[in-house]
Amino acid sequence: LFSQVLATDREVRGAEHPYVGHDLVNRAILMLDLGRYDDAEADLHAALEIYSAALPADHPFVASALAGLGRWELEQGRADEAERLLRQAIDMAARAIPADSPQLAVAKSSLGGALLAQRRFEEAAPLLRESYPVLVRTHGENAVITRRARAALAQLETTPDE
């Protein structure tokens, strides 16, 4: 379905329209959830190319693509780079969208996961606890991102203090 929407937007709006980038980010997130990391990375970089030509550098669409790349980096085992990208995405998005938005919740949850991977539990905990209720409300209990956040919270609870 994402590919059909993408094809339609390319045909109707043109290949360089920001909505095409938005479609690419949405498809990339699905690819991340399916474990198709190469496809996700390609879509995220393509979206950023479109955004760099069409939007201000701090646009929320740019933040969304950076958050997706942060998730991709985390899946590749590069928690440090994931943290950098996710912090950048959160800083951008926080200036433009509501604090309880799903976009920020996903980015904060992913940042919490990156910090957890680095064993920085005290920094991860508030991000995971703050984002989880928003994820449940906006994505549902069974969404991949919600299940990952729940697993991260459970990991926090079972990790001995260091």
Pick the CATH number of 80-162 from 3.90.320.10, 3.40.30.10, 3.40.50.880, 1.25.40.10: 1.25.40.10
Q: What is the 3-state secondary structure (H, E, C) of 43-63?
A: HHHHHHHHHHHHCCCCCHHHH
pTM here is 0.91
The DSSP annotation for 121-141 comes to HHHHHHHHHHHHHHHHHHH-T
Please report, for the chain, the start and end positions of each structural domain, with discontinuous segments joined by +. Answer: 80-162
State pLDDT tens for residues 11-67: 999 899 999 999 999 999 999 999 999 999 999 999 999 999 999 999 999 999 999
State pLDDT tens for residues 84-133: 999 999 999 999 999 999 999 999 999 999 999 999 999 999 999 999 99
